[in-house]
A and B are shown apart, each in its own frame.
Chain A
Amino acid sequence: PEETVTSSFASFIHAVQPEHLSKTVRHRSKRMILDSIGVGLVGSTTHVFDIALQYCRLYSSVAVSSVYGKPGIKLSPTLAAFTNGVATHSMDFDDTWHPATHPSGAVLPALLAASQMLPPGTKPNGMDFLLAFNVGLEVQGRLMHFSTEAHNIPKRFHPPSVVGTMGSAAATAKLLSLSTAQCAHALGIAASLAGAPMANAATQAKPLHIGNATRLGFEAALLAARGMEANPLILDDIAGCSGFSAFYSIYQPKPLSTPSDHHEFLLEKQDIAFKRFPAHLGMHWVVDAALSVRNLFINYAGSFSPSLIRTIVLKIPVSKYINRPFPSSEHQARHSFQFNACTALLDGEVGLSSFTESSIHRQELRELLDKVVVEHPEDNVANFDKMYGEVALLLHSGDVLTGKCDTFYGHWRKPLSKESLLKKFRSNASHVLPEEKIETIITMVDNLENLSDSSQL
């Protein structure tokens, strides 16, 4: 097999031995080590070092924050946030916004962990919590409006790792009641912790993006709370020295107006999409289209008979990381138009079990995948507000059956009903929690504004 760049690096790291080192290299690198140690030693007398150290000492062993699904286990707050963030995005089942990001997973875990961290007597109530959460969302939305690039499905940096980290910093700063200056520094520090490339989407590492967004944003706020300072112009566009603008090629920041009675949160104008099954948002269009054409097909042929199908044509927008003809892992399957369309055709539905090893590799599915052809109509823009999905079955008989979906059920234009949302929650929660706990959570969140101590959540 042809050797890739990445593979050659891995081979080098793995196979290199001491005898490969030359005399000059040994000599120079030892000088570097000596110098580096000396520099580190004197550096331990600085103020910035004190802050960093205090922070780590305080939080490395205080295990007060809960972990989703693990009643007996507690972790230090930022690590709990990390773990819970990873959990949230682990199946790509979490919410998606427009412009594109996964807003909640980047904010909620940090807030939950933080609320457990605060001493009794200063615990935020449900309203504080709800507000902080919305601050986290709002900041993310506003930042995304700074670049027209953000309106389309991403190509370079995974948005939750960019704006999510900032949102988490903002939300936590809010919950911890930091001063204005400290909030600015929290954002500044968070920017230096933001930004993961798209390439890890559709891999097991993707959930880390949310885990790290929520954890690192939280850390940024904690550091700012302890006096750490960053660039106060981090969100501004300064030529020659990039701040937050580093993550975009076009960047036009705008100041946020001071909150007044009339401040309109973005969430007001632009709702969220909730997923009905655990896969990338783009999949939801093709699945609804596939289900619709499946019905037509069953009416036509009496039952779903794959042998009658010559070709399956998918009309989808151009987006490399979700165009996968033959996914081989669950992560890839969640990011494959082809896989999701075929699963919907075959099973009449897509759910958690669609992504198990056996489901992914079954023969009937592979046969269907073989028949798939992908087209990218010009009017199908890679944008969650404008895209559509069309599935056409070209039968051996010459007949063509088509299904098209402009707005899937769960999209912000067609939001999930309360019953559907509760059904999803109960179904998910029942994997790890007993019924009474499930119902308690539902009630608590429903009445969040009236909750006196949000750490109960």
Chain B
Amino acid sequence: QIYSSDISSTIWGHLDFRLPPLYAAFVNGVAVHSMDFDDTWHPATHPSGAVLPAVIALAEAFPREKKISGLDLLLAFNVGIEVQGRLLRFSSEARNIPKRFHPPTVVGTMGSAAACAKLLALDQPKCKNALAIAASYAGAPLANAATQTKPLHVGNAAKHGLEAACLASQGLQGNKQILDMESGIGAFYTDYNPQTLPTLQSYPWLLDQQDVAIKRFPAHLGTHWVADAASSVRRKLVESSGNSLPLDKIEKVVLKVPEVKYVNRPSPASEHEARHSFQFVACSALLDGSMSVQSFTSENIHRLALRELLCKTQLEHPPDNTPSFESLYCEVSVMLRDGNTVSDRCDTFYGHWRKPLKKEDLEKKFQSNASSILPAEAAEGIIETVYNLEKVEDCSVLTKFLSGQSVRALSEKLH
């Protein structure tokens, strides 16, 4: 019954209407993963999308007198990330790119539940129940990756984690050993070895040791290696043939990539498929020099030059190219009709945790994304608020910007 009441939360980018927190979390989570543009971690999952929409929506659901500070939000967010990372380390299967269950639906749901439990300040037994209840919502098969349904995985992770925390808060109980048992969260893995967390004294946060990768264009992480290698090959080709790309001289394009079935698509027909195609990204980057949000429009997916290049493209899977975001590489070789070959290899793309985006580039990505939806002051407001999150007394300032309110008075509140 709570969800048919008047409590409502912001839909990012929309001033005109709101939704109950559960649905706001869902919808914003879907938005975050809709283009496969969100962050990726190691072991593999999309950590932020499962947690941030839930905690933001929840923060708005508290009664007006109760203020949630920026620090509360930051802490809850980090709890949600940390729990995901810890759970991923309980199975060796998790180290490689998944094959059976889509990780955000397994650990993301748990992370969302943990983060919301923290924000709700639940006692220890209720935190336990939140995790237990969340487990019963976890787990979606990988087959819906590269389809329109995939974004729902993150939306549902956020929504269901929030729901689990709310149910726990109302007294619902689950299995107290949900993380210990093989028939608990272990059900999603073939090998499962859970470990207790370290004590809070000088707590070793996983995000400290292992950063996330931030994408530069909206497609599966594996394609980022391909894009960097292909762009570099294009530069070489263009230099050596008088500043233009010698398309008709290209005989064959060979991509050396790890074996990842759901990103191997020789001829993608939709944007969802294109975002999950080594071949598509390689050819796109060869044609245009770089990848962007625009690379995935319908016209660009179906353009003739691209289709022709795709026909010439094939994949190879060298045995040393392991399907793990920590160790994979990509080599792009373009064979020309005159017998010459131009190649390049990418071991670490720009945006990977080994080569993180610089502050300016992160902001540039944000501005580029936000500018089509939010007025400039709101976008600026968000950047400032997030950078100073620990000092923000009332995080409703963040959600007001998120809804597109560009009140000058709000920016002044920050200082």
Which of A's residues lie within 8 Å of B, judged by CB?
A: 3-18, 20-22, 24-26, 28-49, 51-53, 56-57, 60-61, 63, 73, 75-76, 79, 155-158, 161, 185, 188-189, 191-200, 202-205, 208-209, 212, 223, 228-231, 233-234, 238-247, 320-321
Contacts and interface: CB of A to CB of B under 8 A. Distances in A.
Nearest 8 A/B pairs, CB to CB:
A243-B143, A43-B31, A240-B261, A199-B184, A205-B174, A38-B366, A192-B140, A197-B187
Interface in B97-140: 99-102, 105, 114, 117-118, 122-125, 127-129, 131-133, 135-140
A39 B38 contact: yes
28 contacts: A4-B196, A5-B180, A9-B83, A9-B128, A9-B131, A12-B79, A13-B83, A13-B114, A13-B122, A16-B79, A21-B78, A24-B207, A29-B74, A29-B77, A34-B366, A34-B383, A35-B214, A36-B38, A40-B12, A43-B35, A46-B35, A52-B155, A197-B178, A199-B132, A199-B183, A200-B132, A223-B152, A239-B261
B373 A45 contact: yes
Contacts of B129: 205
Given A34-B382, A40-B12, A229-B149, A203 B30 contact: no
A57 B26 CA distance: 12
B386 interface: yes
A48 to B, nearest CB: 5
A30 B214 CA distance: 13
Contacts of B133: 200, 205, 208
Contacts of B139: 194-196, 246
B16 to A, nearest CB: 11
B208 A12 contact: no
A314 B60 CA distance: 55
B295 to A, nearest CB: 14
Nearest to B206: A25
B128 A209 contact: no
Contact of A42 (B35, B144, B182): B35
Interface string B143-181: 111111101110110000000000100001111111111
Most chain-B CB neighbours within 10 Å: which of A5, A49, A156, A242? A5
B173 A204 contact: yes
Nearest to A207: B172
Interface in B65-102: 71, 74-75, 77-79, 81-83, 86, 99-102
A42 B37 contact: yes
A41 to B, nearest CB: 5
B374 interface: yes
Contacts of B17: 57
B292 to A, nearest CB: 11
A18 B366 contact: no
A204 B47 CA distance: 29
A227 to B, nearest CB: 9
A6 B79 contact: no
Contacts of A22: 205, 208
B137 to A, nearest CB: 7
Interface stretch (B48-56, B227-235, B249-257, B299-307): B48-56
B143 A242 contact: yes
Contact of B362 (A34, A157, A242, A321): A34
A42 B372 contact: yes
Contacts of A41: 12-13, 31, 369-370, 372-374, 402
A107 B160 CA distance: 21
Contacts of A56: 19, 23, 26-27
Given A30-B74, A60-B19, A48 B30 contact: yes
Contacts of B214: 31-32, 35
A20 B147 contact: no
Contact of A14 (B74, B83, B122): B122
Given A12-B197, A44-B13, A208-B136, A25 B205 contact: yes
B409 interface: no
Interface centre among A20, A53, A192, A239 (most CB of B within 10 A): A192
A52 B174 contact: no
B135 A196 contact: yes
Given A10-B125, A63-B4, A155 B183 contact: yes
B144 A188 contact: yes
B14 interface: yes
B222 interface: no
Contacts of B131: 6, 9-10
B188 interface: yes
A204 B174 contact: yes
Nearest to B123: A14
Contact of A79 (B4, B49, B81, B99): B4
B366 A35 contact: yes
Contacts of B367: 38
B27 A52 contact: yes
Interface of B: 1, 3-4, 11-14, 17, 19-20, 23, 26-28, 30-35, 37-39, 47-49, 52-53, 71, 74-75, 77-79, 81-83, 86, 99-102, 105, 114, 117-118, 122-125, 127-129, 131-133, 135-149, 151-153, 155-156, 167, 172-188, 194-197, 200, 203, 205, 207-208, 211-212, 214, 259, 261-262, 293, 357, 362-363, 365-370, 372-374, 382-383, 386-387, 389-390, 402
B23 A48 contact: no
A238 B146 CA distance: 14
B34 A21 contact: no
Given A35-B365, A208-B133, A242-B99, A231 B32 contact: no
Contacts of B86: 9
Contacts of A204: 172-174
B71 to A, nearest CB: 5
A39 B125 CA distance: 35
Given A22-B205, A34-B386, A44 B79 contact: no
Nearest to A11: B124
Contacts of A229: 147-149
Contacts of A241: 99, 142-143, 145, 261-262
A13 B169 CA distance: 14
Contact of A52 (B78, B146, B152, B167): B152
B101 A246 contact: yes
Contacts of A12: 79, 82, 197, 200
Contacts of B102: 192
A43 B200 contact: no
A384 to B, nearest CB: 18
Nearest to A36: B48
Given A48-B34, A188-B143, 8 more contacts: A6-B177, A34-B383, A40-B53, A44-B12, A44-B373, A156-B182, A204-B173, A246-B139
Given A37-B402, A39-B32, A13 B118 contact: yes
Contacts of A52: 26-27, 30, 151-152, 155
A233 B105 CA distance: 20
A196 B101 CA distance: 12
A161 B136 contact: yes
Nearest to B148: A229
B71 A40 contact: no
B178 A6 contact: yes
A229 B37 CA distance: 20
